[in-house]
A = this chain, B = another copy of it.
Amino acid sequence: MAKKNAFYAQSGGVTAVINASACGVIETARKHKDKIGKVYAGRNGIIGALTEELIDTTKESARAIASLRHTPSGAFGSCRYKLKSLEANKREYERLIEVFKAHNIGYFFYNGGGDSADTCYKVSQLSEKLGYPVQAIHVPKTVDNDLPITDCCPGFGSVAKYIAVSTLEASFDVASMAKTSTKVFVVEVMGRHAGWIAAAGGLVEDHGIPVVILFPEIEFDQKKFLAKVDAMVKKHGYCSVVVSEGCHYPDGKFLAEQGTRDAFGHAQLGGAAPVVANMIKEAHGYKFHWAVADYLQRAARHIASKTDVDQAYALGKSAVELAIKGQNAVMPTVDRVSDKPYKWKIGVAPLSKVANVEKFMPRDFITADGFGITAKCRTYLTPLIKGEDYPPFKDGLPQYVRLKNVAVPKKLASFKI
């Protein structure tokens, strides 16, 4: 059988370590040149496959590829694009096959979250359903940590570390000012459906910080929340609040959608943090500060978790090894072997069980009152933020790599998405 090339693409919101997975895929493929030909990357994700905008990663030096390990964001561009079902949009799948055939692609590595796992699963069925032989392996990635089966998802540990470190630092700040000034600090974090990232803020309790967490899993009870904050401030002199962007009222309305209007009547400028901060001010009169971390949290490679970087790389590497072993429709996973000392190994999950399944915080990871994390959650989270893995710096700034991203010459007619 002729040696096949590989296609690799990044999907959905990028992270501090998705390029570490790319590094794992490319470096491992380069070590197996007898089995895998070139690695082509999709420019801007799967869209690059559909439009035949492929990037020839063989044009990048070993050093540039190695630098991906410490570079945040998606080096080849990403996109939010979910393939419909084969029945609903056969045209797209036929186009994929056309592109794969034209460039002799036999391996499909897709690096993303839940939606991407679904797309990857659909591609893995091309062989059976449309008679084109392709092995599709999903490389997990999502700051939301909501993929099933795997113990955790690359990208999450680093965001968790960023949120824990930032909450700790800002809380120290507020503690200094609380006597005569700011008494409450509110930070808004990502997580529309699952509260994993917000939970990481709870780790600062180990450092004696009074903190209240607002999870998307727990319906917001304003009265209970305000009483909790007040009790914290009365006891400790100050309090930090970590609010998930997905925190909502019992009727499903997000806190951030409080009907805020600008001078022109346009809806909702702010996020959940200013809403919560003003609510506290209104009820108790406490001076507040608030922050919205947004992209800063998921891009913060400078404070990435070493555990996370190692796992991101290992999963990319394993994806290629699984492909070489002839596997299809699978996703390498992180399997936790032990908590203390933390040990993990790579496992394998069938994509049929991964696609479209969301993993939420277990209720016993959240305290009974709904505002904190339990010892069980702490045991789960702590190893995931462990270890530092600083990028190299020059003149005060991290040296992140920008690839040449040389285009593979097109062979086909253009395709409209």
Q: Does A382 contact B (CB under 8 A)?
A: yes
Q: Given A172-B72, A174-B295, A177-B14, A165–B397 Cβ distance below 8 Å?
A: yes
Q: Which of A228-236, A255-263, A315-323 contacts B (4 or more CB under 8 A)?
A: A255-263
Interface string of A235-277 (1 = CB under 8 A from B): 0000000000000000000000011111100100111011100
| Residues of chain B lying within 8 A (CB to CB) of residue A259 | 262-263
Number of interface residues, chain A, beta carbon within 8 A:
86
- Contact of A185 with B by CB under 8 A: yes
Question: Smallest distance from the beta carbon of A399 to chain B beta carbons, Å?
Answer: 9
Contact A296 B293 (CB under 8 A): yes
For window 278-334 of A, CB contacts with B under 8 Å fall at 278, 282, 289-296, 298-303, 305
Residue A73 CB within 8 A of the other chain: yes
Q: B73 contacts A172, CB within 8 Å?
A: yes
Residue A414 interfacial (CB < 8 Å): no
A212 to B266 Cα, complex, angstroms: 25
What is the distance, in angstroms, from A253's C-beta to the closest C-beta of chain B?
Answer: 11
Assess the B180–A44 pair: CB atoms within 8 A: yes
Residues of B within 8 A of A395 (CB): 206, 382, 385-386
Task: List residues of chain A with CB under 8 Å of any chain B CB.
Answer: 10, 13-14, 16, 44-45, 47, 71-75, 77-81, 161, 164-166, 168-170, 172-182, 185, 187, 203-204, 206-208, 258-263, 266, 269-271, 273-275, 278, 282, 289-296, 298-303, 305, 382, 384-388, 390, 393, 395-398, 400, 402
Known contacts A173-B73, A266-B282; A396 and B390 CB within 8 A of each other: no
Q: How far is the CB of A150 from chain B (nearest CB, A)?
A: 20
Contact indicator A180/B274 (Cβ below 8 Å): no
Choose one: B179, B204, B263; the contact of A260 (CB below 8 Å): B263
Check A302–B165 contact: CB distance below 8 A.
yes
CB distance from A172 to the nearest CB of B (A): 4
How far is B385's CA from A401's CA once the two chains are assembled, in angstroms?
20
- Chain B neighbourhood of A261, CB < 8 A: 260-263
**Known: A172-B71, A173-B73, A385-B397. Is A302-B299 also a contact (CB below 8 A)?**
no
Picked from B79, B179, B291, the residue with its CB within 8 Å of the CB of A292 is B291
